[in-house]
Amino acid sequence: MIQDVWKKFDEIELSHSSVHYLMAIHTLVKTQGYARSIDISNYLGLTRGSVSITVNKLVAKGYILEDKNRFFKLSDTGNQLVNAVLSKRRLFERLLSEIMLVNPTVAEEDACKIEHLVTKESSAKILSFMGFYLSDDPRAVAFRKAFSEYNYNCTHQDEQCDVCEIECYFSGDENYFRQENDLS
């Protein structure tokens, strides 16, 4: 049952890689007003050849629009997709940094990795949680204060500390995983 999740990924029309192309166009159009093939290849650090092939596929699939001077922009579908991804990224970034108190740089990187994997359901639930958590509700205010004190006081040196006890589970990672393609 769990491996079915990965099978589902294979059935997604857009690859990980393609999503990055769309994100690049979004960013480029936003920052410099336009996106040519060369801009995308500079932005993503890929060769012009690779970009040419993939972008043309995405044009054919209807995610990207190309004008007569070969300037690209996202179609409505492409825009929707990028918005969904960006929303999730921001959501996770905030969840990790503002609530879990993860270092903002790490939070940003992790959010970037997760952004287009998480379902709408989970995203909406997290949003709902954050809405209440960060609200003025006195129980929320009290909790935040209590947690920040707890966090400040716990040096994780304590033998009773749950975190210390369990943290070792995570120790096998970091060095082993390959970044499937370097565009995260």
Asked whether 72 and 55 are in contact (CB, 8 A), the reply is yes
Residue 34 as a binder of DNA (CB under 7 A): the answer is no
Considering only the stretches 51-59, 88-96, 139-147, 152-160, report the one whose residues sit in contact with DNA under the rule CB under 7 A.
51-59
Consecutive H or E run containing 176:
none
Residue 37 as a binder of DNA (CB under 7 A): the answer is yes
Q: What is the smallest separation between the CB atom of 28 and DNA, expressed in angstroms?
A: 12
Q: Which does 163 bind (CB under 5 to 8 A by kind): its own copies, DNA, none?
A: its own copies
Position 27, amino acid:
T
Considering only the stretches 30-38, 41-49, 65-73, report the one whose residues sit in contact with its own copies under the rule CB under 8 A.
41-49
Residue 167 as a binder of its own copies (CB under 8 A): the answer is yes
| Residue matched to tokens 């690779």 | 50
Residue closer to DNA, measured from CB, 23 or 51? 51
Q: Which does 30 bind (CB under 5 to 8 A by kind): its own copies, DNA, none?
A: none
Please give the Cα distance from 129 to 118 (Å, whole number).
16
Number of residues that bind its own copies (CB under 8 A): 93
Considering only the stretches 33-41, 80-88, 111-119, 163-171, report the one whose residues sit in contact with DNA under the rule CB under 7 A.
33-41
Q: Which residues contact 26 (CB under 8 A, 6 or more apart)?
A: 74, 79, 82, 86
Position 12, amino acid:
I
Please give the Cα distance from 105 to 43 (Å, whole number).
20
Dmax over CA atoms of the chain, in Å, equals: 67
Residue 15 as a binder of DNA (CB under 7 A): the answer is yes
